[in-house]
Amino acid sequence: MSGQATILTKDAQRGTIGKAAAFLFGVAAYLVFFFTVLYAIGFVAGLVVPKTIDSGPVVAWGEAAVTNLLLMALFAVQHSVMARPQFKQWWTRYVPQSVERSTYVLFASLALILLFWQWRPMPDVVWQIADPGIAMAVMALSFFGWFLVFTSTFLINHFELFGLHQVANNLVGRRMPAPRFKTPALYKFVRHPIYLGFIIAFWAAPTMTVGHLLFAAVTTAYIFVGIFLEERDLTDLFGEDYRRYKQRVSMLLPWRKSA
């Protein structure tokens, strides 16, 4: 009996250490994500950070376009494939369920960091707002887009969306609650306020260069692909509730449809 008790105690200790390690991994992944997003704001806006969307060595137009498209494609593929339920079912055979979301968030952050590092500026100006007051208003609109992104994540569950809720529940031995369909605040007016915020943030630029335009156009196209994939998964998950929601609430433009 004492030998069996010793084995059980060691198993419990290993379980506790594993949960603590998962929690620390989740916190680390979240911090990487948080600072990556802060850098993304400066990268797109051309402020504060050492390398922005329009800074760095200028190379031939074709080389820059191909490099930038490949970097965005890498992020898009990683971001879309790892978010699909079929991939999650396969992936969690090798990665604990508790850190699946944190791993996804970490990989997405690393893909963005690579994009920031290797991005090739294309500095030819498409448009430039000369009036300082209007330029400042457009920049403020861009920051409003980022504010909309962050606010929208907290309206659902920011910490679950980025993996912290999962590792915290795992640490204390609590199961994650079943997914529940809800449409708080902004979600009553548009189905995807997070994506709307990104579109505003990327397009509201007092100075729009070719590189910035390429970034905004490709990411906007990817957003529509992401919406299609995400809504297909949500319809599978929530069924008729989500179908009725799609009929009632517009996708991106903030007005209510007729019931």
Give pLDDT tens digits for 69-102: 999 999 999 988 998 889 989 998 999 999 999 9
Percent of the chain with pLDDT over 90: 79
Residue 258 confidence (pLDDT): 45
Cβ burial of 9 (10 Å; 0-12, 13-18, 19+) is exposed
DSSP state of 49: S
Say how far apart CA 148 and CA 67 lie, in whole Å. Answer: 30
Q: Which of 23-27, 124-128, 252-256 has the lowest mean pLDDT?
A: 252-256
Tokens representing 16? 């506790």
Calculated CA dihedral for residues 71, 73, 77, 79, nearest 10 degrees: 60
**Whole-angstrom Cα distance, residue 29 to residue 106?**
5
* Residue range 98-129, pLDDT digits in tens: 999 999 999 999 999 999 999 999 999 999 99
Query: Helices 61-81 and 210-238 meet at what angle, rounded to 10?
Result: 10
Beta bridge partners of 209: 125
CA 237 to each of CA 22, 74, 92, 150, 178: distance values in angstroms, whole numbers, following the listed order: 27, 27, 19, 24, 11
Predicted confidence at residue 8, as pLDDT, reads: 40
Q: Which two tokens stand for residue 189?
A: 């007016």
Q: How far apart are the C-alpha atoms of 124 and 162, rounded to whole Å?
A: 36
Question: Residue 190: its pLDDT value, please?
Answer: 95
Whether residue 4 has pLDDT greater than 80: no
Q: Which pLDDT does position 2 carry in this prediction? A: 52
Determine phi and psi for 170, rounding to 5 degrees: -65, -35
Work out the pLDDT band at 20, boundaries 50, 70, 90. very high
- pLDDT value at position 1? 52
Which residues are bridge partners to 164 per DSSP?
Answer: none
Instruction: Give the DSSP letter of residue 83.
Output: T
Contact 155, 186 (CB under 8 A): yes
Q: For the segment 173-227, what is each residue's pLDDT rounded down to a tens digit?
A: 888 888 889 899 999 999 999 999 999 999 999 999 999 999 999 999 999 999 9
State the pLDDT at residue 257.
Answer: 55
Q: In degrees, to the nearest 5, what angle opens at C-alpha 38 toward C-alphas 109 and 128? A: 110
Per residue in 26-58, pLDDT tens? 999 999 999 999 999 999 999 999 999 999 999
Q: CB-based contacts of 222: which residues, under 8 Å, 6+ apart?
A: 72, 76
